[in-house]
Amino acid sequence: MNAVFVYCKRDLIRWFRGRWGFISAMVM
């Protein structure tokens, strides 16, 4: 269960980072 939580958290961070990069590129 802990491993699954870590995996989901990592995936969420990756998605958030990708979305932030997209917004940053749009602003620039």
Q: Which tens digit of pLDDT belongs to each residue from 6-27? A: 888 999 889 988 888 888 888 8
Quick one: pLDDT at residue 24?
85
Quick one: pLDDT at residue 27?
85
- CA separation, residue 21 to residues 1, 4, 7, 10, 15 (Å): 30, 26, 21, 16, 10
For residue 1, is pLDDT > 80? no
Quick one: pLDDT at residue 28?
76
Quick one: pLDDT at residue 26?
83
More confident residue, 28 or 25: 25
